[in-house]
Every structure is written in structure tokens, then in C-alpha cells.
Amino acid sequence: MNIEERVRHIIAEQLDMPMERVVAEAKIEDDLEADELQLEIIMEMEDEFGFKIPDCESESLQTVGDFVERVKRMSPEG
């Protein structure tokens, strides 16, 4: 799996929904209704990819695409 697929898989798994709903433009809070699970998603990303997303940056992660881009920037795989 590439980074985008891994990120989408983590989000889909955390939200217990099919990956087809987890598209780049989907807003985590509005479209996927995951406002209270955003912290769990971030923690899973940190575990999966081996780096910390600073709290001050977590608020800027609004869409699935934002998560993908953030991971790509921080990951040696990106």
C-alpha cells in the first residue's frame, strides 16, 4: 500500500466505514462525522508512520487529503 492508501485505511478503520467514503476531499468533521475521533486518528497515524504531529498542527488537518499531505511531508517514504 502507498501512503495515501495507508492513511485512508487508518481513517476508514478508526471510523468503521468503507474506504470508498474516505476520499481526499472528505472533511473529517463534516463529511465523515469524526470530530471526537480526530485525536485517535492522529495517534494512529503517529504510530503507523513513526513521527509526532504537533498539537498546533493538528487543527489544520481538516480533510483526508490534509492528512495524506502531512504524512508525505514527514515520512521518509514520501
What would the DSSP string read from start to end of 14-77? Answer: HHT--GGG--TT-BTTTTS--GGGHHHHHHHHHHHHT----HHHHTT--BHHHHHHHHHHH-TT
> What is the domain partition of the chain in residue ranges?
3-74
Rounded Cα–Cα distance for residues 69 and 56 (Å): 16
Please check the confidence at residue 6 and state whether its pLDDT lies above 90: yes
Question: Of the listed 16, 35, 47, 66, which one is catalytic?
Answer: 35
Query: 66 catalytic, yes or no?
Result: no
Write the pLDDT tens digit of every residue in 28-71. Answer: 989 998 877 788 999 999 999 999 988 888 888 999 999 999 99
Q: Looking at residue 14, what is its pLDDT?
A: 94
Q: Looking at residue 78, what is its pLDDT?
A: 61
Q: What is the rounded average pLDDT of the residues 8-12?
A: 96
**Could you tell me the pTM of the whole model?**
0.89
Please check the confidence at residue 75 and state whether its pLDDT lies above 90: no
Q: Looking at residue 63, what is its pLDDT?
A: 95
Q: Is 22 exposed, middle or buried (0-12, 13-18, 19+ CB in 10 A)?
A: buried
Domain 3-74 has CATH 1.10.1200.10: yes
